[in-house]
Amino acid sequence: MSSIADKRIVVTGGTGFLGSHLVEELHGGGCRSVFVPRSSQYDLRKADHIARLYDDFRPEIVIHLAAVVGGIGANRENPGRFLYENLIMGVELMEQARLRGIEKFVALGTVCAYPKFTPVPFKEDALWIGYPEETNAPYGLAKKMLLVQAQAYREQYGFNAIYLLPVNLYGPRDSFDPSKSHVIPALIKKCVDAIERGDKRIEVWGTGEASREFLYVEDCARGIVLATEKYNKPDPVNLGAGREIKIRDLVTLIVKLTGFHGEIVWDSTKPDGQPRRGLDVSRAEKEFGFRAKTDFVDGLRKTIEWYRAARQKGLAA
């Protein structure tokens, strides 16, 4: 049985993309007392709502996934909102947890916290060598402050907070809303929609020369559970797959897997974002035995299949 099976666990963002998979992973590991706060009942931007949440459920572990997030377009349109809401949620959730003596706080950061020109593969020690990529810097810095807070609280109060850095995620239940989606769901939607409409071309942002690393969402959920069970140190830990792919090659792969046979038009007036993203994943394996298992092509197929099924049921746009 899992070492956390008998713990009372709060998962913020537990109805979201990653959160829903994490809750399933926790239940599958024998955790019987997992609480997912709903925004209609608890506004995590307000300290009194967070205090009420903790008083209502009395968690022993908090896993903080909730975030206001989106792709490059959403980040460019909402820098102030993304900074404030992500920062205030994390700061207050951790502070109220400390005040109540909660046993462990698991903070989820973002690969966007890394500097724009981080040497590849990204090592956790490189987090502070420069400024993040401009289009998502406010979001990335807000999430990175959780690391500063976790380390400061550990040093001053002995509070057990850990900080995990997942790379770009993909998989079933991702957001396919064009105003919020990241690159994989956006590309899948463009290809599937074009096939259904009979379009002969699709447009893709950027030059295709940027590279990204992608982690299947179920693998990420497993990594978070392993860290929650086994990791209790101040150092940040990457969660990734340990492989990069250029966006141009990703487009070719998704076009093939969806069966789209039209033209790809690259809009080079749109930003590529960070030039490269690829993580050093050795710390996660060393500290709590995490290694990604899902083959990338298999993961893409499952994501495409989910999206097509969801469209037929009216669950995805």
* HSE-CB of 218 using CA atoms within 13 angstroms: 13
> Cα-Cα-Cα-Cα dihedral of 43, 46, 51, 57, to 10°?
10
**Residue 315, number of CB atoms within 10 A of its CB:** 12
Tell me the residue ranges of DSSP E strands in the chain.
Answer: 8-12, 33-35, 61-64, 104-108, 161-166, 168-170, 201-205, 211-212, 214-216, 237-239, 245-246, 263-267
Under 8 Å CB-to-CB from 282, ≥6 apart: which residues? none
Are the beta carbons of 107 and 161 closer than 8 angstroms? yes
Which long-range contacts does 126-133 make (Cβ < 8 Å, 24+ apart)? Answer: 127/236, 132/274, 133/273, 133/274
How far apart are alpha carbons 129 and 51 in whole angstroms? 36
To the query of whether residue 157 is one of the catalytic residues in this protein, the response is no
Task: Tell me the backbone φ, ψ of residue 211, rounded to 5 degrees.
Answer: -120, 155
Collapsing DSSP to helix, strand or coil, 162 comes out as: strand
Are the beta carbons of 223 and 239 closer than 8 angstroms? yes
Among residues 42, 54, 139, 163, the one annotated as catalytic is: 139
> Residues 191, 292, 243, CA angle at the centre, nearest 5°?
60
**Residues annotated as catalytic (active site), given as ranges:** 139
